[in-house]
Amino acid sequence: MKFMRSSDAIILAILVVAMVFIGLVNPAFWQMSNLFSLLKENVVIGIMALGVLLVMISGGIDVSFTAFAVAGMYLTVRVMVALDYNGLVLPFMSAILIGGLLGLMNAGIIHRFKMIPLIVTLGTASVVRGLVLGLVGTSNVNINKMPDALVAFGKADLVTLERANGSTYGLTAMIAIYLGLALALHLVLKYTMIGRSVYAYGADPEAAKRVGFSTGRTMMFVYVTAGALAGFSGLLHSSMIWLANPRDFVGLELDVIAAVVLGGASIFGGRGTVLGTVLGVFILVMIQNSLILMGIDTTWQRIVVGAMLIAAVTVTALRDRRALV
Amino acid sequence: MTSAPLIELRNISKRFGGVRALDDVSLSLDGARIHCLAGENGSGKSTLIKVISGVYQPDEGEIYIDGQKVGPLDPVTSIAHGVQVIYQDFSLFPTLSVVENITLNTFVREGRTRINWTRAREMAREVLQRLDVTLDLDATVETLPAAGRQIVAIARAMLADARLIIMDEPTTTLTGREVARLFRIVRDLQADGIATLFVSHKMREMLEISERLTVFRNGKKVTEGPIAEFDERAITRAMTGRDLHQGRFAAPDLAGRKPRLELRDVTVGHQAHDINLTLMPGEIVGLSGLIGAGRKALAQAVFGLRGDMSGEMRIDGVPVAPKSVPEAIAAGIAYVPEDRLSEGLFLTRSIRDNAIVSSMRRFAPRLWLDGEKAAAETRKMFGEMAISAPGIDVPVGTLSGGNAQRVMIGRWLMTHARVLILNGPTVGVDVGSKEQIHGIIQELTRTSDLAVLMISDDLPELAANCNRVLCMTEGRIMAELSGHTLTEEALDAALSRTTQGEPA
């Protein structure tokens, strides 16, 4: 079996072992309500991770996506509030467009000046966050001001179940959007030339050029898609928590990058799968979730996330180096 | 051939700044012929390849394809005319599968937007069948040995409807058997009507595979003709412009000398077993064997790079057991690795910095570097090694292979080494420079009483420079040749005998 030899299979095995272990330590883990909330927490990080995966396959690292998410979300919500607009399609399109345009800026700088993506995105992230706070505003848009359509959208459930005491809980419909996007990205990466050009560029940019790929187009595809996914996830996030905070997502870059690396993508580029990333996000969220269930302080969670990132990078680096010999 | 040549270059010149890389060169390549292009580094071979492949546009001259004059070529039109170049680095995608590496450029050329994996697999399988090679289609290219990657690169070129495949130094990283397979493939390609332009500086191969030979020197075509008109001597003279003396190294007088390096029952991990070896001062002892025979492991162990060595090691009678490189240096051992680019030199730093780096303690006894002393000793080494460079302050990255290797060897002599281990001392070095390096090594053993252990795959090199050669197979020394029994043929026979899998 091809699948059994892949890193996806190993990640799946790790996930299963971790689930069994966590379930043994804390049987509450297996309660439907906990599993549903776990899946809900996957959505926003997961969509961001898809963008980061794309950048990582192309051999870069993106740390600007949280800033782009904030820009897409906060600008859109503020405009909606100002215009008293109550719709769904246009706001989401606007968030996607804002993210995409900012991504285009990343692509332009990285490709035109042949610069290191990490440094470029550090810079654009800071600039964008500063502009949002300086030009648009610094105050939260709270539930009482949030557009109703967004709030209602974020509340939509796929299934609703009833607890013994009569209260209800459900599985958010947003998970369908997340998995739909993941499937779409998987198909694009696997079956289209632009998708393969991302792998080719990440494996060896010079060879990609010699084969005849237009590398500028590839970079544009990578960073515009990553930016658009970030913008979309930002607005989705605010509709799910009924709040638009211009200082949101600070420090989330690390979690998302850790999840993608955990999912088997190589920081050296040319390697990574959507399935692996989805599993990696699930593992990360699940571990954070069970730390909360066990009552462990949030400061300690940062240590766990950092340690997981280092462990995952070490393992994948060893794998990549062994393969090179 | 009655028809017009496949590609004809007329009076091509190409200048880079003040340097004439190509000077009024004409070359005609016929369809389905195997042509060899020979020349030292910097002779204009690479520039010529790039003119044919459209990477460079010539300053003067005309290019004809199938008898038709074509304008200056660019890579796309060159490929459209059926010219495919297999670069030394193969230009493959290491993390992608064999299938994808073989088919991706065809899909790009056909302007597709989607990938049909079933068709891709069929195409890959078919072309590998034509090459009569089996490869795991799903393996990633990084897991293949160099020979496998080369097959992938050739398969990819064939799919692109190549009529001329240019191979740049294709045999550098191949073992003897793999070279034989490559030659078989090149002849099969010829039977299919595909011409090959071999770029090489290995005599033996040129004489064996090619039908026509062109020799370049200093950007000019020096000579050209059917291969039957050449022998090694003639090619060498054409490439270097002088006769090289291939004198043999005479065994030194060892009477009354004490051994310099002794190994007694040395075992290194699973790679070398029960090695007994004695190196006398003034000797050059060769170590021959196939890749994986344990030669490198043994050399690294002696140099303190391995923690898993057991057995006894003595230098000038004193037992030593270096556990690290500084300890090995202190014991008087020097090791010049095979890959000087990745394991040895700091390419962006000057010759001086590269030269003194292994004897830092001598030049910087306390915190400060004694710049004058460092420069003086580097200059002395610079002269002894006959390095050709503007001065000791130029970055090593700007030097040719031969000069870079001299810096590498010179660095180790500056550590006052008594035992010098050379791994592939002239890999990637051109003929003229190679002979000079050999001369320097031989001279050193005479003047400084150095003991040299020379690991090499180049049998003529071992035969000409060593007074003894040890043959290693599967971690053991299986044969020793010296004196009149030490010939290329005997070495070749010893190697193939030991690989037939007698005692393991």
Q: What is the arithmetic mean of pLDDT over B21-50?
A: 87
The pLDDT tens digits of the residues spanning B79-101 come to 889 999 998 778 899 999 999 99
* % chain A with pLDDT above 90: 71
Q: How far is B113 from chain A (nearest CA, A)?
A: 5
Q: In whole angstroms, give the CA distance from residue B382 to residue B391.
A: 9
The pLDDT tens digits of the residues spanning B247-274 come to 677 777 777 788 999 999 999 988 888 9
DSSP secondary structure of B319-378: E----SHHHHHHTTEEEE-S-HHHHT--TTSBHHHHHHGGGHHHH-SSSS--HHHHHHHH
CB B417 within 8 A of CB B25: no
Report the pLDDT value the prediction gives residue A100, as an integer from 0 to 100.
97
Helix (H) or strand (E) holding B284: strand B284-288
Q: What is the arithmetic mean of pLDDT over B44-66?
A: 89
Verdict on whether the full-model pTM lies above 0.80: no
Tokens at A203, concatenated: 């494996």
Output the CA–CA distances (angstroms, integers) from residue B286 to A273, B51, B339, B401, B465, in the order listed.
49, 41, 18, 22, 8
Residue B50 at interface with chain A, using a CB cutoff of 8 Å? no
Band of pLDDT at residue B341, cut at 50, 70 and 90: low
Q: What is the arithmetic mean of pLDDT over B3-21?
A: 84
Residue A319 at interface with chain B, using a CB cutoff of 8 Å? no
Please give the residue that has the higher pLDDT: either A324 or A159. A159
Sign, Cα dihedral of B222, B228, B234, B235: positive
Rg (CA), chain B: 25
Q: Which residue of B has its CA nearest to A210?
A: B91
Q: How many residues does chain A have?
A: 325
Sheet holding B284-288, edge to edge: B333-336, B419-423, B451-455, B284-288, B468-473, B476-482
Tokens at B502, concatenated: 């007698």
Q: Quick check: B19 pLDDT over 80?
A: no
Q: Quick check: A144 pLDDT over 80?
A: yes
Please provide the distance, in angstroms rounded to a whole number, between the alpha carbons at the two ends of chain B: 52
The pLDDT tens digits of the residues spanning A53-90 come to 999 999 999 999 999 999 999 999 999 999 999 999 99
SS3 call for B43: coil
Q: What is the arithmetic mean of pLDDT over A185-190?
A: 97
Q: What is the arithmetic mean of pLDDT over A136-155?
A: 92
How many inter-chain contacts (A to B, CB under 8 Å) are there? 64
**Burial of B121 by CB count in 10 Å (0-12 exposed, 13-18 middle, 19+ buried)?**
middle
Q: In whole angstroms, give the CA distance from residue A323 to residue B451.
A: 37
Which residues are bridge partners to B470 per DSSP?
B287, B480
SS3 call for B9: strand
CB B389 within 8 A of CB B403: yes
Please give the residue that has the higher pLDDT: either B467 or A49. A49
- The residue among A246, A190, A258 whose CA lies nearest residue A45 is A258
Average pLDDT taken over every residue of chain A? 92
Residues of chain B contacting residue A269, judged by C-beta atoms under 8 Å apart: 95
Q: How far is B217 from chain A (nearest CA, A)?
A: 29
Residue with the two structure tokens 């002696």: B302
Q: Quick check: A125 pLDDT over 50?
A: yes
DSSP secondary structure of A104-124: HHHHHHHHHTT--HHHHHHHH
ipTM surpassing 0.90, yes or no? no
Residues of chain A contacting residue B94, judged by C-beta atoms under 8 Å apart: 203-204, 270, 323-324
CB A228 within 8 A of CB A99: yes
- The set of residues, in sequence order, having a beta carbon less than 8 Å from that of B425 and lying 6+ positions away, is B336, B405, B409, B437, B441, B454, B456, B461
CB B421 within 8 A of CB B303: yes
CB A281 within 8 A of CB A271: no
Q: Quick check: A210 pLDDT over 70?
A: yes
Region at A122 (left for phi over 0; alpha for psi -120 to 50; beta for the rest): alpha
The pLDDT tens digits of the residues spanning B362-380 come to 888 888 888 888 999 899 8
Q: Quick check: B465 pLDDT over 70?
A: yes
Residue with the two structure tokens 């003067």: B60
Report the pLDDT value the prediction gives residue B72, as an integer from 0 to 100.
78
Report the pLDDT value the prediction gives residue A325, as an integer from 0 to 100.
37
Band of pLDDT at residue B75, cut at 50, 70 and 90: confident
| Residues of chain B numbered 144-163 and touching chain A (CB < 8 Å) | none
The pLDDT tens digits of the residues spanning A269-307 come to 999 999 999 999 999 999 988 888 888 888 888 898 889
CB contact under 8 A, A193 and B114: yes
CB contact under 8 A, A194 and B113: yes
The pLDDT tens digits of the residues spanning B187-206 come to 999 999 999 999 887 777 78
Q: In whole angstroms, give the CA distance from residue B45 to residue B174.
A: 21
Q: In whole angstroms, give the CA distance from residue B98 to residue A173.
A: 41
Q: What is the arithmetic mean of pLDDT over B491-496?
A: 77
| Residues of chain B numbered 2-31 and touching chain A (CB < 8 Å) | none
Report the pLDDT value the prediction gives residue B121, as an integer from 0 to 100.
95
Q: Quick check: A324 pLDDT over 50?
A: no
Band of pLDDT at residue B502, cut at 50, 70 and 90: very low
Report the pLDDT value the prediction gives residue B503, as an integer from 0 to 100.
35
SS3 call for B424: coil
Strands B261-268 and B309-315: antiparallel
CB A193 within 8 A of CB B111: no
Residue A325 at interface with chain B, using a CB cutoff of 8 Å? no
Band of pLDDT at residue B403, cut at 50, 70 and 90: confident
Report the pLDDT value the prediction gives residue A97, as an integer from 0 to 100.
98
Phi and psi at residue B180, to the nearest 5°? -60, -40
Q: Quick check: A1 pLDDT over 50?
A: no
* % chain B with pLDDT above 70: 95
SS3 call for B8: strand
CB B5 within 8 A of CB B26: no
Assign 3-class secondary structure to B101-115: HHHHHHHHHCCCCEC
Residue B92 at interface with chain A, using a CB cutoff of 8 Å? yes
CB A127 within 8 A of CB A236: no
Output the CA–CA distances (angstroms, integers) from residue B173 to A102, A217, B149, B291, in the order listed.
46, 35, 11, 10
Tokens at A274, concatenated: 């959507």
Q: Which residue of A has its CA nearest to B116?
A: A191
**Burial of B159 by CB count in 10 Å (0-12 exposed, 13-18 middle, 19+ buried)?**
buried
Residue with the two structure tokens 């070490």: A314
Q: Quick check: A183 pLDDT over 60?
A: yes
The pLDDT tens digits of the residues spanning B101-127 come to 999 988 988 889 999 999 999 999 999
CB contact under 8 A, A266 and B114: no
Band of pLDDT at residue B2, cut at 50, 70 and 90: low
SS3 call for A138: coil
Residue with the two structure tokens 């031989």: B442
Letter string b/e over residues B301-323, b meaning 16 or more CB atoms within 10 A of that residue's CB: bbbbbbeebebebbbbeeebebe
CB B413 within 8 A of CB B334: yes
CB nearest B113 (choices: A192, A269, A324): A192
Q: In whole angstroms, give the CA distance from residue A171 to residue A8.
A: 26
Q: Quick check: A258 pLDDT over 60?
A: yes
Domain ranges of chain A: 3-324
Rg (CA), chain A: 20
Q: In whole angstroms, give the CA distance from residue B464 to residue B482.
A: 11
Band of pLDDT at residue B44, cut at 50, 70 and 90: confident
Q: Quick check: A17 pLDDT over 80?
A: yes
Residue B104 at interface with chain A, using a CB cutoff of 8 Å? yes
Q: What is the arithmetic mean of pLDDT over B57-75?
A: 88
CATH number of the domain at A3-324, please? 1.10.3470
Please give the residue that has the higher pLDDT: either A204 or A210. A204
Which residues are bridge partners to B314 per DSSP?
B262, B319
Q: Quick check: A323 pLDDT over 70?
A: no
